[in-house]
């Protein structure tokens, strides 16, 4: 039926196609770091508990309880980065549904589904080396406080880079879906007002 040589060649060709696609989809020009400085903004959370208690929940009550439970962190980071709280909530709803333990098949981690420098993502190579080598670890990203802060910082940096939310959200989402991701998040944002 099938010769071992044909099967081997098929597998080899498939691997080459995957490697080629990965290098094209994950080129360094497409990757935006949250910040060149590690853990920026985290030191400003000296008394986070008292800050959280003083903030009222300003995200829409239309968001499900799985998102509402993170309201204080969403509002605190929205305030820190001058973001609309409902936009952070919309990204979180689309990315993880509010599940702090979310882990995608592509390797994205946590509430905001951020690619870490380790785990599956460690193997993703770009022209200049590992694509996500400057990112936090999976352990850091499973911490809701850190994940929301890092994701919020990424969002504002992408907005500052592109000048509009449609392009910024396209860059935040999966590389292979074009504007579909941005359209979904913006639709959630508008429908949950």
The set of catalytic residues is 95
Produce one character per residue of 49-82: b if its CB has 16 or more CB atoms within 10 Å, e if not: eebeeebeeebbeebeeebbebbbbbbbbbebbe
Q: Which residues pair with 18 in a beta bridge?
A: none
Cβ atoms of residues 117 and 137 within 8 Å: yes
Longest distance between any two alpha carbons in the chain, whole Å = 71
The span from the CA of 11 to the CA of 8, in Å, is: 5
């Amino acid at each position: 039926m099938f010769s071992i040589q044909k099967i081997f060649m098929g597998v080899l060709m498939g691997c080459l196609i995957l490697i080629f696609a990965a290098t094209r989809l994950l080129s360094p020009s497409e990757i935006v770091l949250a910040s060149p400085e590690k853990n920026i903004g985290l030191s400003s959370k000296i008394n986070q508990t008292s800050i959280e208690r003083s903030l009222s929940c300003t995200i829409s009550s239309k968001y499900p309880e799985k998102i509402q439970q993170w309201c204080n962190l969403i509002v605190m980071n929205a305030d820190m980065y001058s973001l609309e709280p409902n936009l952070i909530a919309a990204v979180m709803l689309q990315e993880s549904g509010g599940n702090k333990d979310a882990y995608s098949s592509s390797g994205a981690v946590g509430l905001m589904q951020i690619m870490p420098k380790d785990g599956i993502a460690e193997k993703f190579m770009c022209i200049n080396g590992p694509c996500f080598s400057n990112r936090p670890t999976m352990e850091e990203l499973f911490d809701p406080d850190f994940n929301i802060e890092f994701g919020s910082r990424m969002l504002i940096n992408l907005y500052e880079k592109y000048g509009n939310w449609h392009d910024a959200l396209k860059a935040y989402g999966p590389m292979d879906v074009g504007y579909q991701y941005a359209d979904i998040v913006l639709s959630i944002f508008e429908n949950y007002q």
